[in-house]
Structure 1
Amino acid sequence: MIDFDYILSKVGYLGTYQILVILMVYYSGIPSGLNSIGPVFMSYQPDYRCNVPPFDNKSVYNSLNESEILALTTPVDGDGKYDTCRRYSYDVEECYTHGNDSFECLEGVNNTVSCVDADGYYYDRSLFTETVVTEMDLVCDKVIYSYAATSIYMLGLLFGSIIFGNLSDRVGRKPTMIVCSVGCAVGMLGAVLSPVYWAYALFRLIIAFFGYGMTISCFVIVMELIGTKWRTLVGISFQVSFAVGYMLLSGVAYGWRDWRDMQWACIVLSLPFGIFLILIPESPRWLFSVGKDKQAKKISMTMAKFNKVDLTEDIWLEAEKLGNENVEKSQEDENNETRSYSSSDLFRAPGIRLTTFKVMFNWFVNSLVYYGLSLNVGSLSGNIFINNVIGGCMEIISYGLCIIFMDFVGRKVLLAIMLLVSGTTLIASTIVNEYAGDDQALITLGVAFAFLGKMGISGSYAIIYNFTTELFPTVVRSNGIGIGSMAARIGGILTPFVIATQVWVTWLPNSIFGAFGVIAGILSLTFPETTGMKMLETLEEAEAFYAGQHMTAEQSDMKEQRLSSADAEEPTHFENKFYEVDLSTEL
């Protein structure tokens, strides 16, 4: 077996070849952003009321404006607001008979009828000519259907996280990417051609299912092509392409105001990745690990050529020697292993049990709040297209701050700061909006607070990925990440229903998001700090770490050097460092 880390040390940990591949892989984040945040525009809910012939027929009643039509035909609910799901049950034919601005047909009419049982709905189409909501009448009794479609999308992400991580390890990164690309294409085409709601929701689930598989495979392949020291930068930067994708969505929605046209435009924007997929190689690290050395060597030689490095026969011999030593060491470790580990081990000992619950809650909150703010941008005052772009900009700024400060400030403190910033600014935004009235300065301040909340939650979501890998020991690390990701998916599934509460109580969604953000931020301060710590290996080591006993990476290296000096006959092993991570889209 070839030790790919040794090959990387010769060809460069982040050379020209890796940069080109990374940029092509990053493009996958654009369709991911387009699909995940698409409902902001495609499922936009405009103002609506019942169709009220002949009063909205300009050839018969040409002097009535919208406010007057509402006052004449629409009943008022207990809160003094127009009940736009119903209208007065007047005789339409009689009104046509009178015509000429006569309202005799409305006199004495107090009974009401639902829009569905009367003449259907009228929608304000000044912003979008057609959305999923207006085409399928997802208002009034069916308003929950629109939010349910987004929850179904999040359910697809959950299914994708369960299936494709394992598939990628079994068949390879690139085959999984190809399968997922085809699946996403089928889902996007099916969604745009869907004639009814349930078909649309099903195809949205398919998009999410395969889209998450694409994200996992793309993220893993870039992580396996670079050196350890570049993984924080490249890993967080991977999420920037998602933000770019949903910023582009503003341009798509501005240019095409019909939801089907928007979906077709998203399909076209996704096509370049199909070309890049031809050029993106399989992961040589994975190929070496499964014994496909010939193909892996070919890719490695191409990498060396682009990076202007020669891989001599001596280098290959040394890489093979080190690889074989690693295999022998792994086999020894397996022989010494007396038991296998599962997710149940995350809850056995008190230290890791508490850490697991805190990690699950943190992932849940991050997903709940992140998608809550991203999908509810349409509720903010101002231009929906500009607001969506600003939200993306806040996300990119947040990623930059994480890259700069994460190693300097520490994972725990920065995570807590980001969550507390998000939670407190969302609560502030809610309070300001409740008392703003028509004061434009206060309205603008409320929007600014909301964007600060978006910046905070974007940063905390980026941090929790890295932090989780360091909080759990190697024997249960994958299980820890998996259970955190599952908690995040549950948060995403619930998000649309939290947003839906604004139909009845306008201030409730952001209050919920803000409160959860503050609680998660305070709870984050109880995590142990992992910055500069060596990776945990065993459950016993993890329990000691949670109890406050820890060893820095530098101390660990010094200990290993002393042990090596004490036993000169012991062979030196070149250890692989595997970066295990699970990534959701903002998928």
Structure 2
Amino acid sequence: MKFENILAEADGFGRYQIALFMLMVLPRITLPCHFLLNNFIAATPSHHCNISSLDSHGVFETLTPEERLTVSIPKQEDGTFTSCHMFLQPQFYLLTNSSNATQLPVVPCQSGWVYDSSTFKSTLVSQFDLVCNTKGLTKASATVFFTGLMFGAVVFGILCDKYGRKTILLVSYILAIIFSIASAVSTSFIMFAAFRFLTGFGLSGTSIIAIVLSIEWVDIEHRTIIGVCSSIVWTVGNSLLAGVAYLITDWKILLLTVSSPLVIAVATWWMIPESARWLIVNGKTGEAYKYLQKCASVNRRSEFTSTIKPQALCEVVTGDNQRHNYTYLDLIKTPRLRRITIYTSIVWYCVASTYYGISLNITGFGLDLYLTHFIYSIIELPTKFIIYFSLKKLGRRVNQVGTLVLTGVCIIINIVTPKDYWTFRTIIAVLGKGLSEASFTTVVLYTTELYPTVLRQNGVGYTSFVGRLGASVSPLVMLLEDVWLPLPQLVFGMMAVSSGLVALLLPETNNARLPETIEDIEQTRKSSFCMSTQEQSKSPLKIDMTEDTVQ
């Protein structure tokens, strides 16, 4: 008997599963807020040198603010004041004649900077003076965060498969809260970067556990809707971030605010069930049966206890050593699983790198930062609904291939389209972003279905690590524009198309039961046909055995 048969008796998609999904909403909303928080906390406000040191005799008191800047700071070609240089001495003659200003000697800012606080009360830039020679540190803060996510994905992948989903999820919540608070009270950029790395490390557990735990509790038919709804929660959180950031312009308070839902998540953690699949494959059938009984009770399946006995759970997993401690090495020990691991890592790397590459290069709509962020977030919503029906109708593989290839095509079209066609280029860019988001939605769901229960967190953790690596490398690819302006986009376009072709090599998982053991992955096509038509008709769920094997 397979787990899907047992889960069907308890109802694989009822009030129990909906309640579990709702318990994951708040921590899931927190994720995009942290992932994209750098757009606001590391924003660079208008600034110029602090010129107070030039006013040794109080002369500036008779001048207007504009005149003070005119005699103290050189102007750029476009007429704006420079941000990183000042005159050694006030040049009062510039008030009447500025024709020779470009020939005057200048020096770097001597007494720090003055920042415009009309948009942001405080940011990392104004707090730690991350401008001029140190302006690159604003991007470094994002890279540090994603690096923490990378390493966290590996560690939490191991811990979840060894100690269970629920316990490690609580650890993730607590770590994220502690290090978010530590980040907010940092007194130096190095201190902030260190705690921001650890915040990413902690949030990585929530990122990979939430989706896996939800998927493992639903039946075959409803895995797609759970995966897509999880992605919609991301979009909601991303959109809310724009509003929250608009209302809270102090980076410290903003950081604490977007982390606050995790406090509620900790308070409601006790209501979250452990994965019954994980309990069974680890020999804890008694505890798994209690959770399944609870599931049946909430879903009003009173006949579950009489239909399914505890002994039936012992028959779910056969062929694998239930006490075996699995590691990442098990992902490459057997041929079919090894191919899945290689292919999914390529797809994840390119999906993440392309997504962030597009996000960094879509031309704005001439709106302020908050509205632009909101628009870029909300345009993903129609994509979620379209991909839901497409995943149900066409399956995982076709959607993964199609969204990636079309993303690459959109990027390449924008490369060859003249810049005079601004409207057309904007439409294609937005379409490309929507398609790249669809590829992300698909790959997250697809990956959880490809790996067996005994290695699912390891598999998801590994691919998440590779994806975060792609996200971190994406800004570095942008530096290639110094070699040739369209080169970064060409790289992203080719990556999207090539990874789409790689996805063709993955097996289809639509309407197939989740594999429980490595043997489920490695079984041959021939053995998958050994189940007779009569046996299939007796199963509570219709299982497409031709799609249940891995090629």
Same fold per superposition (TM over 0.5): yes
Amino acid at match of 2:388: I
Residue equivalent to 2:28: 29
In the aligned structure 1, how far is the partner of 2:458 from the partner of 2:212? 17
Look up the SS of the partner of 1:64 in the other structure: helix
In the aligned structure 2, how far is the partner of 1:219 from the partner of 1:403? 16
What does 1:172-211 correspond to in 2, within 5 Å? Answer: 172-211=164-203
- Asked if residue 520 in structure 1 is aligned to residue 496 in structure 2, the reply is yes
In the aligned structure 2, how far is the partner of 1:435 from the partner of 1:573? 58
Q: Does the CA contact (< 8 Å) of 1:29 and 1:239 recur in 2?
A: no
Residue equivalent to 2:105: 111
Residue equivalent to 1:303: 295
Residue equivalent to 1:325: 315
Deviates more, 1:243-252 or 1:464-473: 464-473
Amino acid at match of 2:88: Y
C-alpha spacing 1:27/1:131, structure 2 compared with 1 (3 Å): same
What does 1:456-471 correspond to in 2, within 5 Å? Answer: 456-468=435-447
What does 1:395-406 correspond to in 2, within 5 Å? Answer: 395-406=380-391
In the aligned structure 2, how far is the partner of 1:19 from the partner of 1:255? 32
Amino acid at match of 2:348: W
In the aligned structure 1, how far is the partner of 2:501 from the partner of 2:277? 37
Look up the SS of the partner of 2:532 in the other structure: helix
Look up the SS of the partner of 2:121 in the other structure: coil
Residue equivalent to 2:89: 91
Residue 192 of structure 1: how far off its partner (Å)? 1.1
Residue 193 of structure 1: how far off its partner (Å)? 0.9
C-alpha spacing 1:455/1:75, structure 2 compared with 1 (3 Å): same
In the aligned structure 2, how far is the partner of 1:90 from the partner of 1:407? 69
What does 1:107-146 correspond to in 2, within 5 Å? Answer: 110-115=104-109, 118-146=110-138
Residue 493 of structure 1: how far off its partner (Å)? 1.7
Deviations 1:180-218 (A, max 9, x none): 111010111011111111111111111111111122222
Deviates more, 1:29-38 or 1:239-248: 239-248
What does 1:225-304 correspond to in 2, within 5 Å? Answer: 225-293=217-285, 295-304=287-296
Look up the SS of the partner of 1:122 in the other structure: strand
Q: What are the ranges of 5 or more consecutive residues in structure 2 without an aligned counterpart?
A: none
Amino acid at match of 2:291: I
Look up the SS of the partner of 2:195 in the other structure: helix
In the aligned structure 1, how far is the partner of 2:345 from the partner of 2:61? 61
What does 1:500-519 correspond to in 2, within 5 Å? Answer: 508=485, 512-513=488-489, 515-519=491-495
Q: What are the ranges of 5 or more consecutive residues in structure 1 without an aligned counterpart?
A: 335-339, 437-441, 566-571, 581-587
Residue 456 of structure 1: how far off its partner (Å)? 1.1
TM-score (norm 1): 0.76
Residue equivalent to 2:74: 74
Residue 398 of structure 1: how far off its partner (Å)? 2.1
C-alpha spacing 1:46/1:501, structure 2 compared with 1 (3 Å): farther
In the aligned structure 2, how far is the partner of 1:267 from the partner of 1:284? 29
In the aligned structure 2, how far is the partner of 1:474 from the partner of 1:265? 35
Residue equivalent to 1:418: 403
Amino acid at match of 1:531: E
Look up the SS of the partner of 1:243 in the other structure: helix
Select 1:453's aligned residue among 432, 439, 442: 432
In the aligned structure 1, how far is the partner of 2:131 from the partner of 2:4? 56
- Asked if residue 393 in structure 1 is aligned to residue 378 in structure 2, the reply is yes
Residue 110 of structure 1: how far off its partner (Å)? 2.2
Residue equivalent to 2:531: 560
In the aligned structure 1, how far is the partner of 2:458 from the partner of 2:263? 35
In the aligned structure 1, how far is the partner of 2:203 from the partner of 2:215? 18
Residue 539 of structure 1: how far off its partner (Å)? 11
Look up the SS of the partner of 1:27 in the other structure: helix
Q: Does the CA contact (< 8 Å) of 1:14 and 1:227 recur in 2?
A: yes
In the aligned structure 2, how far is the partner of 1:576 from the partner of 1:313? 24
Deviates more, 1:263-272 or 1:173-182: 263-272
In the aligned structure 2, how far is the partner of 1:108 from the partner of 1:511? 35
In the aligned structure 2, how far is the partner of 1:536 from the partner of 1:218? 19
C-alpha spacing 1:3/1:238, structure 2 compared with 1 (3 Å): same
Residue 477 of structure 1: how far off its partner (Å)? 8.1
Look up the SS of the partner of 2:260 in the other structure: helix
Residue equivalent to 1:488: 467
Q: Does the CA contact (< 8 Å) of 1:39 and 1:375 recur in 2?
A: no
TM-score (norm 2): 0.80
In the aligned structure 2, how far is the partner of 1:427 from the partner of 1:159? 33
Residue 287 of structure 1: how far off its partner (Å)? 3.6
Q: Does the CA contact (< 8 Å) of 1:61 and 1:99 recur in 2?
A: no
Q: Does the CA contact (< 8 Å) of 1:74 and 1:84 recur in 2?
A: yes
Residue equivalent to 2:64: 62
Q: Does the CA contact (< 8 Å) of 2:74 and 2:87 recur in 1?
A: no
Residue 405 of structure 1: how far off its partner (Å)? 1.0
In the aligned structure 2, how far is the partner of 1:171 from the partner of 1:575? 32
Q: Does the CA contact (< 8 Å) of 1:377 and 1:384 recur in 2?
A: no
C-alpha spacing 1:389/1:36, structure 2 compared with 1 (3 Å): same
In the aligned structure 2, how far is the partner of 1:31 from the partner of 1:539? 34
C-alpha spacing 1:485/1:297, structure 2 compared with 1 (3 Å): closer
Residue 310 of structure 1: how far off its partner (Å)? 0.9
Residue 560 of structure 1: how far off its partner (Å)? 2.1
Look up the SS of the partner of 2:470 in the other structure: helix
Residue 87 of structure 1: how far off its partner (Å)? 2.5
Amino acid at match of 2:29: I
Deviates more, 1:206-215 or 1:168-177: 168-177
Q: Does the CA contact (< 8 Å) of 1:50 and 1:122 recur in 2?
A: yes
C-alpha spacing 1:513/1:259, structure 2 compared with 1 (3 Å): farther
Q: Does the CA contact (< 8 Å) of 1:425 and 1:514 recur in 2?
A: no
In the aligned structure 1, how far is the partner of 2:16 from the partner of 2:542? 24
Deviations 1:349-379 (A, max 9, x none): 9x976x7665433322211122344567796
Q: Does the CA contact (< 8 Å) of 2:152 and 2:205 recur in 1?
A: yes
Residue equivalent to 2:346: 361
Q: Does the CA contact (< 8 Å) of 2:85 and 2:106 recur in 1?
A: yes
What's the % identity of the aligned pairs?
A: 24
Residue 19 of structure 1: how far off its partner (Å)? 0.6
In the aligned structure 1, how far is the partner of 2:308 from the partner of 2:72? 85
